[in-house]
Structure formats: structure tokens, C-alpha cells
Homo-oligomer: A and B are copies of this chain.
């Protein structure tokens, strides 16, 4: 019986460990897989033989329950990309996998990772090594092609939406008019910033302006929009993607740590929200503040989406099922079957359809003036962030699962 190896790559997300839990649990119960191994820090760790036995370390129902509700990456991540032409590295990877008698190889990550698996798999085939290679999608950015959405996105979207609710209620505490600019993750694709729209519920009207990186940012138009909104809203809340670029220069509106000055001659303040806040303050003479929730967006497990965590587990399960059916060189996809009721199906797509592609927000889902999203976007987003999760708290703090990274095998 062949063994399996699984690894994680790219940026942390609240759902990547749920996929790990799903895959490991299904593999262990299948009776068709011997040992379940995990590589620490992705392929970078694998090359250093940093391998642990997940069969030995994730055992009880509580272990799995905790792992599902642990943010970031239990196995550790890497930003390592296999050098495409260095066949020696590929040979090393194969040798290590053969050492562990691996027949099934799973890698969880974004489009870079899918490219990595595709290259590895091609090499394995060229060496007549029968190792099924399956990609497990994840990214809070939701920018992978083919799949309707990516595990991790719904949870980050819920954190963003709930944070906007809270920030709005915080703004409304004071009588004086104000502008609050909140910076959301997503350098090239605006999905997560768009999800701030979900906070427009329960009678709250904000965010009032939403700026996605898909639309070049017009400084003058922004000031006019804020001025206009302030006529009807005492407290204007603005959602802005970290990756918006200036319409005039094509450069990031805020180039962090660049030491350069922006188009208004101000020094870069370290964040785009700060730039937009300062613009509003100086040009409109209004009380303004900026908020940058930063990595809390991708690790806020207490606000993870129940739907997302469930789907992430299913994606992990489906990855193992698919490999056991003899498929290889595919990534698991979520296909939305219907929206009312919300139903999905798990499918596969060839890795090459995902590798190195980046799915941006369709321009037809952005309002004409570039400061809002359409009802289609809201319909798309709404089911993804629903559902609560049960985080285990112990002594006031969320309890997370930890893999013992010292116990190498």
C-alpha cells in the first residue's frame, strides 16, 4: 500500500488546516493509504527531509476538531518556488518521495503552488514514477481560476464584513462628521475588499465607497465622492484595497517603505488607507482616520465562516478521493450548482487551467463610477460568509492544534 504526502504553501488562511484535516481524516479512514506524512514548510522543508507522520500526530476526534479551527498553517508554509530548469532539484524531490514510498502527493496553495505541482508531476511521469499529484486550492484573495471560489475566502470575507459593521458602529458613537478609511487585503484582485459590502445590513448603510484594484484610482474623483457622500451620511466609511493604483501614474497609491513622496508631495505613510485619510482630512477639512486590520483578516478564526470551513474540509476529502480514483494533475474545484438554495459540487480541473492565472473581479460586477459593487456581486458573496463556527476556548483564549515539528520521521 502506498503512502501519502501533504504540504501547505503560500499565505496563511483560516481554512487551509480544515482542508488538511479533511484530507488526512479521509485518507486514514479509506483503508487504501498506508502512512499519512506531512512536509513542514512545503517543498522547502521537504528538500531538507522535514517530514512528520500525521497518522501518528492527528489521532482523536478532538485533534481533528481543533485542527479545523486552527488558523494559519499547521504544517508551516514557504514562499519557495522550484527552479523550473533545475532537474536536480526535481530528482531530489522524487528521491525523497520514493524514500517514503509516496503514491499520493497533495499540495495546498494558490496559483504558484499549482504551477509547482504541475511541473513536479510532469517530471515524475518522465521518470515513470506513479505518484498522483493533486492540488488543493486556498487563498483569502479568491483569485484562483476555474473554481467558483477558494477555501479561506469566505472566512476572511466574514471577518472583513463583521469588522466593517463594528467600525461603522464605532464611527457613529460621535456626533461630529467623520471619514473612516479601512484598508483590506488583496493586492491585485478586489474580492476581499468587495466583501465589505456585506456589512450593509441590519440598517447600516456603509461602507459608502468601495475601491477595488481592478479600477485605476482617481484622486480628484475620490475627494468629490467623499464630499458628496458627506451630504447624506454623517459618518462616511470607505473600503479600499491595499493594491489600488493611481490613474495618473499607474503606481500603487501607497508605495510602502519606498521613501518616495506621493503625487501630492507627501511622504508615503505606510499604507493606502493613510493616504486616503490624509487626502480627506486636508482637502475636506474633516475628521478622518485610517484602519488597517492587516493579518487579522486572515487569522481571525473566531469569525470564520461555517460554510467556508465545511467546504474546505470537503475539498480536502475530495482531493484524496480523486487521487484514489487514479486521477492526477488536477486541482479540486468548487462548482456552484445553485444560489437559492446555495448548493455546490466538488469537481476537478487540470492544474494548467489554474497555474499562474489570476482571477480578478469582473468589471461588470463593479459600478460604473468604480466606487461600488453590483447586486450580482452581493448575490455571489452572500452564501460564502454565512454560518458560525465553534472555536474551542480554554482559559479565555482560542485553543489551536499544533503539530510537533520536532518529531521528524
Q: Tell me if A199 is interfacial: C-beta within 8 Å of chain B.
A: yes
Residue in B closest to A70 when the chains form the complex, CB atoms: B169
Q: Are B303 and A169 in contact (CB under 8 A)?
A: no
Q: Tell me if A78 is interfacial: C-beta within 8 Å of chain B.
A: yes
Q: Are A302 and B398 in contact (CB under 8 A)?
A: no
Contact with B along A67-99 (1 / 0, CB 8 A): 000111100111100000000000000000000
A404 CB → nearest B CB, Å = 10
In the complex, what residues of B have CB within 8 A of residue A374's CB? none
Q: Are B400 and A396 in contact (CB under 8 A)?
A: no
Interface residues of A in 196-220 (CB under 8 A from B): 198-199, 201-203
Interface centre among A163, A170, A278, A292 (most CB of B within 10 A): A170
Q: Tell me if A177 is interfacial: C-beta within 8 Å of chain B.
A: no
Contact with B along A6-47 (1 / 0, CB 8 A): 000001100000000000000000000000000001001100
The bracket for how many chain A residues form the interface is 35 or more
In the complex, what residues of B have CB within 8 A of residue A202's CB? 394, 397, 399-400
Q: Are B174 and A397 in contact (CB under 8 A)?
A: no
Name the one of B166, B289, B396 contacting A385, with C-beta atoms under 8 angstroms.
B396
In the complex, what residues of B have CB within 8 A of residue A170's CB? 12, 71-72, 295, 298-299
Q: Give the copy number.
A: 2
In the complex, what residues of B have CB within 8 A of residue A298's CB? 170
Q: Are B295 and A173 in contact (CB under 8 A)?
A: no
Residue in B closest to A281 when the chains form the complex, CB atoms: B257
Q: Tell me if A162 is interfacial: C-beta within 8 Å of chain B.
A: yes
Interface centre among A11, A166, A257, A290 (most CB of B within 10 A): A166
Tell whether A296 pairs with B163 under 8 Å between CB atoms, given A71-B170, A173-B77.
Answer: yes
* A residues neighboring B (CB under 8 Å): 11-12, 41, 44-45, 70-73, 76-79, 158, 161-163, 165-167, 169-170, 172-175, 198-199, 201-203, 257, 267, 269-271, 274, 278, 289-296, 298-303, 305, 382, 385-388, 393-400, 402
A-B contact pairs, 20 of them (CB 8 A): A11-B173, A12-B169, A70-B169, A78-B174, A78-B175, A158-B396, A161-B397, A162-B396, A166-B295, A166-B299, A198-B396, A202-B394, A202-B397, A269-B269, A270-B270, A289-B295, A291-B295, A292-B292, A302-B303, A382-B396
